Amino acid sequence: MDTVSTFGRVALLALVLLGGGACEPLDKREYTPSGDSITLGVIETRIPRRTGFAARLAAQEINLAGGVLGRRVEVIVAQDRLCDERHAPGVVSGLLERGVVAIIAATCSAAARADLEVVAPEAANVVIVSPSASSSILTGRPNFYRTIANDDRQGPLLAEEVRRQGVDSAAIVHVDDIYGTGLADGFEQRFTALGGSIMARVSHPTGKTTGFTDEVQRLYAAGKPQAIVIMGFSVGAAGLSRDLVASADISGVRFFASEAVFGPGFLTSADATVAQGMQGLVPTAALDDPNRLRFVEAYEAATGEGFDIEDSGRLQRTYDAVYLMALAMVKGGGATTEALRDNLIAVSGTKAAVGVPVNVGGFAEALELLSAGQEVNYEGASGPLDLDENGEPFRGTYLLWRIDGGQFVFDKALRFP
């Protein structure tokens, strides 16, 4: 039997049972969960708004397998304001008022830190699992887990790749928050340890999207670098690219960027001269990973759309977060914060990869294993997801992306640890 195709048909059936059709905007699919359901909150940020759909896809597949402790898992979606940490606490508070058991915070790192200030106190005491907040500053925070590796992995890996390609001098421009600063620190430390030199390091406010002439001048203050490394977000990076072309000599300069630049917001508004040949990393499973392929086919069957390469990683990590939460609650015997905290790491397999492997689409098998008292090791759509003692991936893959002819392409996989 074709396992992948079977899973895709099951996912489509799940969506039909939900009453949905094609992938409509998720913030228009508000509903009141049934009284006996286990409700998870999802905070969406990035466009296209498909993160909540990936969570609902996982929930419906879990429900078809019997649910969690005999109860349905349902997802409600909230929108934040493009990583605005001042707005984030209100979004979380709204979800708590609606009785969510846990939250999947698809926000930037600074906003996730603000979210944690709301959920960590005893009065809320709710677990957050983030598929996208990668700052190492968040490591070890109470009630916080993630399905994305922290940036202590990404910055040094990118530095190693840039040096491997023969770049001796680079300038760094980054957003001035815990995400951009942490990435820049990791890149600079590893790049210089490998013999490279940093000619300039320039920061700019997180929300800035235009008017980068001053930043460009500071990047070039010590001369023209061989490479410019952009640690920021897609729209801001696009604005920077336009000012680079307008006010600097970029001939021969190579461009690299962090994973948050990887997205349609950059491609649609960046200067093509800067974009062409730009490279960066994105955390996701290898393209031929069987569990990634299972997820992609399920997603495409349920939406009737092709899976966008720009969604690589983000949607899978959201889907995986729902699975880990559900497995943790089953293993812990309750839809509670305590059950989640005590079991999220265990059901991921841990650093030692303990337990019987459970693949994408294998929730029914996981229920049988857990009911028999066995350990499970969830192998996710985004990779192995063996969480360490801090509740974040111990091993995984970054794909090296490149822009060619206005499109993202993947060149190779870089694995950690």
Question: How much is the pLDDT for 304?
Answer: 78
As to burial, measured by CB atoms within 10 angstroms (0-12 exposed, 13-18 middle, 19+ buried), residue 125 is middle
Listed in order, strand segments (DSSP E) in 195-324 are 197-204, 227-231, 254-257, 279-283
Residue 12 scores a pLDDT above 50 = no
In this structure, what is the dihedral angle of CA atoms 341, 346, 357, 144, given to the nearest 10 degrees? 40
Same fold for the domain at 3-148+286-385 and the one at 151-282+397-416? yes
Rounded Cα distance between 4 and 360, Å, is 10
Helix, strand or coil for residue 411?
A: strand
Q: What's the mean pLDDT when you consider all of the chain?
A: 90
What does the block give as tokens for 346?
């265990």
Residue 309: predicted pLDDT: 83
Sheet holding 227-231, edge to edge: 197-204, 169-175, 227-231, 254-257, 279-283, 396-404, 407-416
Torsion of CA 398, 55, 306, 134, to 10 degrees: -20
| 15 confidence band (pLDDT: 50, 70, 90) | very low
What does the pLDDT average to over 394-413?
95
Determine the pLDDT at residue 30.
61
Listed range (22-31, 142-151, 370-379) with the worst mean pLDDT: 22-31
Residue 106 has pLDDT above 80, yes or no: no
The whole-number average pLDDT for the span 117-127 is 92
Nearest CA to 92 among 49, 134, 130?
130
Per-residue pLDDT of 229-255, as tens digits, reads 999 999 999 999 999 999 999 999 999
pLDDT at res. 51: 85
From 77-81, 219-223, 278-282, 408-412, the region with the lowest mean pLDDT: 77-81
- pTM tops 0.75: yes
Q: Decide yes or no: CATH 3.20.20.140 for domain 151-282+397-416.
A: no
pLDDT of residue 85: 87
Task: Name the most confidently modeled range: 4-13, 47-56, 353-362.
Answer: 353-362
What's residue 311's pLDDT?
A: 81
Average pLDDT, stretch 340-352? 97
Tokens linked to 204: 């700019």
With b for 16 or more beta-carbon neighbours within 10 A and e for fewer, the 310-346 pattern comes to bbbbbbbbbbbbbbbbbbbbbbbebbebebbbebbbb
Q: How far is 142 from 345, CA to CA, in rounded Å?
A: 14
pLDDT per position as a tens digit, 33-87: 888 999 999 998 755 568 888 999 999 899 999 999 999 999 999 888 777 888 8
Phi, psi of 273 (to 5 degrees): -65, -40
Two tokens at 118?
Answer: 């709301």
Residue 7 is given by DSSP the state H
Collect all residues with Cβ–Cβ distance below 8 Å to 319 and sequence separation of at least 6.
54, 55, 57, 58, 295, 360, 380, 381, 382
Domain boundaries, the chain: 3-148+286-385, 151-282+397-416
User: Helix, strand, coil % (nearest 5) of the chain?
Assistant: 45, 20, 35
Share of the chain above pLDDT 90, in %: 79
pLDDT score at 34: 80
- C-alpha distance from residue 388 to each of 61, 94, 173, 351 (Å): 27, 31, 31, 5
Residues 6+ apart with CB under 8 A from 380: 147, 285, 291, 316, 317, 319, 320, 323, 324, 360
C-alpha 160/C-alpha 176 separation (Å) is: 23
pLDDT confidence of 31, banded at 50, 70, 90?
low
pLDDT of res. 272: 97
Beta strands in 56-178 (DSSP E): 73-79, 102-105, 127-130, 144-146, 169-175
Q: Which CATH superfamily is domain 3-148+286-385 in?
A: Response regulator (3.40.50.2300)
